[in-house]
């Protein structure tokens, strides 16, 4: 295992991204509504927790669950969306937060499902972007780090459900 980004490198980038999001949604400071941030479980739980604390504008939080990998290091190609958010997203400004954008299938599926519910706007924010691994076209609106096509763990990301609790991001060697 080789460390790719340590805790302080991650914290610095998450802080920058949070400030950028807060600036983009600064209108919320002057009214009663709030930005709706939806985390994709399980992988996004650590990133989501750190990110929302760096977004200095009113936010509501929700989660949904998606699975594509099973216990393999390659994407299974099918995406199961096990839960959708229990709150109404119609007319809301929504940001979906995901751990990593790889083939693009998971976020494409999630955004298709959410768009049917007519949010006012829908953006995506990913901790990691593996640009070369795309099977379906997809661009995230907010990206913390762009990485090579290597399998990474830690900071919420797993290999066979392990290593999610590592405070840094590491490449499996
Ligand atoms: P996509 O649907 O292929 O874009 O894959 C997204 C999902 O695959 C992520 O939410 C992760 O759960 C998983 N994934 C993709 N690459 C990695 C990796 O390098 N480490 C751990 N999980 C990964
Ligand atoms: Mg996973």
User: What are the pLDDT digits (tens) for 76-112?
Assistant: 667 778 766 567 899 999 999 999 999 999 999 999 9
The widest CA-to-CA distance across the chain, in whole angstroms, is 49
> Rounded mean pLDDT of the chain?
91
Predicted pLDDT of residue 71? 59
Neighbours of ion ligand 2 (CB under 5 A): 69
- Give the closest residue (by CA) to ligand 1 atom 11: 100
From the list 158, 139, 55, the residue with the least C-alpha distance to 99 is 158
Q: Is 152 in the pocket of ligand 1 (CB under 6 A)?
A: yes
Ligand nearest to the CA of 128: 1
Say yes or no to pLDDT of 135 above 60.
yes
CB 99 within 8 A of CB 43: yes
Predicted pLDDT of residue 41? 94
Helix 7-24 to helix 45-52 angle (10° resolution) is: 60
- Concatenating the DSSP letter of every residue in 14-53 gives HHHHHHHHHHHTGGGGGSS--EEEEEEETTTHHHHHHHHT
Predicted pLDDT of residue 23? 96
Give residue for tokens 């509504």: 33
Predicted pLDDT of residue 115? 94
Say yes or no to pLDDT of 151 above 90.
yes
Predicted pLDDT of residue 62? 94
Say yes or no to pLDDT of 70 above 60.
no
CB 114 within 8 A of CB 122: yes
Helices (H) and strands (E) in the chain, counts: 3, 9
Query: For residue 127, is it left (φ>0), alpha (ψ between -120 and 50) or beta?
Result: alpha
pLDDT digits (tens, 9 = 90+) for 23-54: 999 988 777 789 999 999 999 999 999 999 99
From the list 54, 39, 10, the residue with the least C-alpha distance to 154 is 10
* Prediction pTM value: 0.94
Query: Higher-confidence residue: 50 or 73?
Result: 50
CA atoms within 13 A of residue 166's CA, in its CB half-sphere: 21
């Amino acid at each position: 295992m080789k460390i790719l980004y340590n805790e302080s490198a991650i914290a610095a980038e998450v802080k920058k991204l949070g400030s950028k999001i807060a600036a983009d949604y600064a209108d919320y400071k002057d009214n009663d509504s709030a930005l709706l941030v939806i985390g994709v479980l399980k992988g996004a739980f650590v990133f989501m927790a750190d990110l929302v604390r760096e977004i200095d504008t009113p936010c509501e939080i929700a989660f949904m669950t998606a699975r594509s990998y099973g216990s393999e290091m390659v994407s299974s190609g099918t995406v199961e969306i096990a839960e959708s958010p229990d709150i109404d997203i119609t007319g809301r400004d929504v940001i979906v937060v995901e751990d990593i954008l790889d083939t693009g299938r998971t976020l494409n599926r999630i955004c298709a499902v959410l768009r049917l519910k007519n949010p006012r706007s829908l953006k995506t924010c990913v901790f990691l972007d593996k640009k070369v691994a795309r099977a379906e076209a997809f661009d995230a609106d907010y990206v913390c780090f762009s990485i090579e096509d290597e399998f990474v763990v830690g900071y919420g990301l797993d290999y066979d459900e392990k290593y999610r609790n590592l405070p840094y991001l590491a490449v499996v060697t």
